[in-house]
Homo-oligomer: A and B are copies of this chain.
Amino acid sequence: MTSTNVSASDELGSSAQRERRKRILDATYELAKSGGFDAVQMRAVAEQADVALGTLYRYFPSKIHLLVSALGRQFDEAAVRLHDREIPGDTPAERVLYVLKRMARGMQGDPKLTEALTRAFMFADSSVANEIHVVGMAMTSIVTHAMHGGVPAEDAVTDEDIAIARVIGDVWLSALVAWVTGRSTAAETASHMETAVHLILRD
C-alpha cells in the first residue's frame, strides 16, 4: 500500500500518482492563465487533466488547495531561479526593489494567473496552512536573499532580517491584492512598494 495522503506537499506516491498530480496542476495553471480565478472550474480542471471529478477532489480537497498548491509551485520555481543569481544594486533597498520589480513584471505578464493565485491565497483558511507556509517561506527567502546581495552565505541572515523580510512581504501582498482586484494600477503598486521599501530599509 502506498501512502494514502496524496495532497500533502511532499509525499512520494506512485509514479502514476505523481503524473496525475502534475497533469492536474498543469491544467490548473493553463485555465488560470487564460481565464483567471473564475475559469478554474473543478469540472474543467478534471476534464483538461483527463481525470474524474472525484479523483481531482482526492488529490486536492478544494479549489483553494488546488490553486494555492499551484501558487506554491510557482513561488518555489521563482525562488530557485533567483537563488543562484547575483542581485544587482548597491544597497539592500535597491536589491530588494530589483527582485520585487522582477517578480512584479512576471506577474503582470500573466494577470489572470496572478489574479487566480492571489485570490486563492487570500481566501485560504487554516486547512491550507501547509501550502501557505511554502509560499511564505519562498517569499521570505527571496527577500532576505536580495537584502544580502546574492550568492553569499545564507547563515548571515539575522532575526531582524527575517522580520524585515516579513514586513516587506506583507506590504507586497497587500499591494498585490490591490492590484489584482483592480483597485490600483501597476504603476501605483510599484510606487507604493518603492516607498515602503525605502521606509523599511533605510540605508
Chain A residues proximal to chain B, CB less than 8 Å: 119, 122-126, 128-129, 132-133, 163-164, 166-167, 169-171, 173-175, 177, 181-183, 192, 195-196, 199-200, 202
Contact = CB atoms under 8 A, between A and B. Distances in A.
A173 B123 CA distance: 13
B166 A170 contact: no
A167 B181 contact: no
A103 B164 CA distance: 23
Nearest to A201: B199
Given A170-B174, A174-B173, A163 B195 contact: yes
A42 to B, nearest CB: 18
A199 B126 contact: no
A52 to B, nearest CB: 27
Nearest to A163: B195
Nearest to A181: B125
A129 B195 contact: no
- For the complex of A and B, the 7 pairs showing the least CB-CB separation, nearest first, are A126-B182, A170-B174, A122-B122, A170-B171, A125-B181, A167-B196, A163-B195
A182 B123 CA distance: 11
B195 A167 contact: yes
A128 B178 CA distance: 11
Given A166-B192, A171-B171, A129 B199 contact: no
5 contacts: A123-B123, A125-B182, A132-B183, A167-B195, A174-B174
Given A170-B170, A170-B171, A173-B174, A182 B122 contact: no
Contacts of A202: 202
A174 B199 CA distance: 18
A67 to B, nearest CB: 13
A202 B175 CA distance: 23
A125 to B, nearest CB: 5
A111 to B, nearest CB: 13
